């Protein structure tokens, strides 16, 4: 069997546009209601006469609507959704769920104390974040969108972290619900795994400190003594910025947000040799934008866990290869979508709440391009076929 037959992309490529219905196409701009900045990768969708249609705003916030609708939903993970029954305005303003800070020019001056505190936070992170086995009640939901399909998945259950050398997670679902525009009945834990294994503190290391410039946000309203918000921007990539809130007394990071674009994601999240091999086989990544926001909560013993996580991924590419084994694998796992967003909420649980005989699902680490063994494939198929109830998507009320 040829080696390239085992090459599996972690997310599906952008789908071709759905047929245009009998209506003149028009454009609208999706923008932040506070800053008036364009909102990229917002979802505009409807289901009319049994068919689902959608559009996605580009990096300038522009969306092209080429389909009829009775009710159009406009949504984005970081904003409150809106619905329209009449003609769309030239600009659609969305109210932000979070405080969106305006861009600030970063100077070369960086207070010396910042990197000392961050390096201390790195030394202490295993003690504060990954020191012991933990169990939590989890509430996970994800929504994925293409131009002709929508998928929603909600799951509640128990999630535990095993603090062995691999620091892996295990899942015990209690309820799972799928809402889709067609008869797709597969469960999707891919974004759950990305939120867990791509956790901000898990990825904060000395390399991250060296490759970013940090500066305090003087307008931040702190919640406790010694709390500071540090804004950062990548030194080598312009599509890499965010902020973190740190307790400068205990050197614990309390919350963080990071937005990254195509260049930095290709650099950090896939092996260069693997990507070169994939390109030789006809696979190409064109757009890869990632938005990750986390708030950590404190347990009675002083350790922290990711209580709330918001994750958005926009992924566009091209695949010209013809691999029948890969195509069959995509059918068995449900594939993916170009525009995805997910949330995760955790609450402390009890080890005594479940019997030792309970069967847990091991959650593999997130990945995008790699070689897979048959065991890897079977694990992905298992996680794509968890028991769940299914509902055909209807227009939202």
Q: Which of 30-44, 54-68, 189-203, 342-356 has the lowest mean pLDDT?
A: 342-356
List pLDDT tens digits, range 173-211.
999 999 988 777 789 999 999 999 999 999 999 999 999
For residues 140 and 154, give the distance between their C-alpha atoms in angstroms, rounded to a whole number: 6
Name which of 365, 257, 388 is nearest 311 in CA terms. Answer: 257
Question: pLDDT-derived band of residue 154, with 50, 70 and 90 as boundaries?
Answer: very high
For 255, half-sphere exposure in the C-beta direction (CA atoms, 13 angstrom radius) is 13
pLDDT at 135 over 90: no
More confidently predicted of 158 and 277: 158
pLDDT at 9: 35
pLDDT at 356: 59
For residues 308 and 342, give the distance between their C-alpha atoms in angstroms, rounded to a whole number: 11
For residues 170 and 176, give the distance between their C-alpha atoms in angstroms, rounded to a whole number: 16
pLDDT at 19: 33
For residues 392 and 279, give the distance between their C-alpha atoms in angstroms, rounded to a whole number: 37
pLDDT at 2: 34
- Most confident residue range from 28-32, 129-133, 215-219: 28-32
pLDDT at 13: 29
pLDDT at 161: 85
pLDDT at 165 over 80: no
Contact 244, 200 (CB under 8 A): yes
Contact 158, 174 (CB under 8 A): yes
pLDDT at 108: 58
CB-count exposure of residue 393 (10 Å: 0-12, 13-18, 19+): middle
The pLDDT > 70 percentage for the chain reads 82
List pLDDT tens digits, range 109-123.
788 899 999 999 999
What are the backbone angles phi and psi of residue 277, rounded to the nearest 5°?
-65, -45
Contact 181, 211 (CB under 8 A): no
- The structure's pTM equals 0.85
């Amino acid at each position: 069997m040829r080696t390239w037959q085992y090459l599996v992309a972690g997310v599906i490529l952008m789908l071709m546009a759905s047929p245009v219905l009998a209506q003149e196409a028009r454009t609208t701009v999706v923008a932040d209601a506070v800053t008036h900045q364009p909102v990229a990768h917002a979802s505009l969708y409807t289901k009319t006469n049994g068919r689902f249609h959608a559009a996605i705003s580009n990096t300038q916030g522009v969306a092209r609507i080429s389909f009829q609708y009775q009710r159009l939903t406009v949504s984005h993970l970081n904003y409150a959704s809106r619905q329209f029954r009449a003609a769309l305005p030239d600009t659609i303003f969305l109210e932000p769920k979070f405080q969106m800070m305006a861009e600030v020019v970063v100077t070369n001056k960086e207070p010396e104390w910042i990197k000392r505190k961050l390096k201390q936070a790195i030394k202490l992170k295993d003690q504060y974040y990954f020191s012991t086995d933990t169990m939590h009640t989890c509430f996970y939901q994800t929504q994925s969108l293409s131009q002709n399909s929508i998928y929603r998945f909600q799951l509640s259950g128990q999630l535990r972290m095993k603090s062995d050398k691999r620091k892996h997670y295990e899942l015990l679902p209690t309820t799972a619900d799928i809402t889709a525009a067609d008869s797709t009945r597969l469960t999707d834990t891919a974004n759950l795994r990305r939120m867990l294994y791509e956790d901000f503190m898990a990825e904060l290391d000395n390399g991250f400190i060296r490759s970013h410039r940090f500066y305090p946000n003087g307008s931040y309203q702190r919640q406790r003594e010694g709390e500071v918000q540090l804004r950062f921007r990548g030194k080598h990539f312009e599509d890499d910025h965010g902020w973190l809130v740190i307790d400068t007394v205990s050197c614990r990071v309390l919350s963080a947000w990071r937005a990254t674009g195509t260049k930095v994601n290709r650099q950090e999240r896939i092996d260069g040799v693997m990507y070169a091999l994939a390109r030789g086989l006809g696979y190409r990544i064109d757009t890869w934008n990632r938005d990750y926001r986390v708030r950590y909560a404190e347990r009675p013993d002083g350790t922290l866990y990711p209580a709330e996580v918001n994750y958005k991924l926009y992924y566009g590419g091209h695949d010209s290869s013809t691999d029948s084994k890969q195509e069959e694998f995509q059918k068995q796992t449900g594939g993916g979508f170009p525009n995805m967003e997910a949330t995760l909420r955790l609450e402390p649980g009890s080890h005594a709440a479940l019997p030792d005989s309970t069967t847990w699902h091991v959650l593999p680490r997130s990945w995008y391009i790699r070689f897979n063994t048959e065991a890897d494939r079977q694990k992905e198929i298992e996680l794509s076929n968890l028991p769940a109830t299914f509902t055909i998507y209807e227009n939202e009320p």
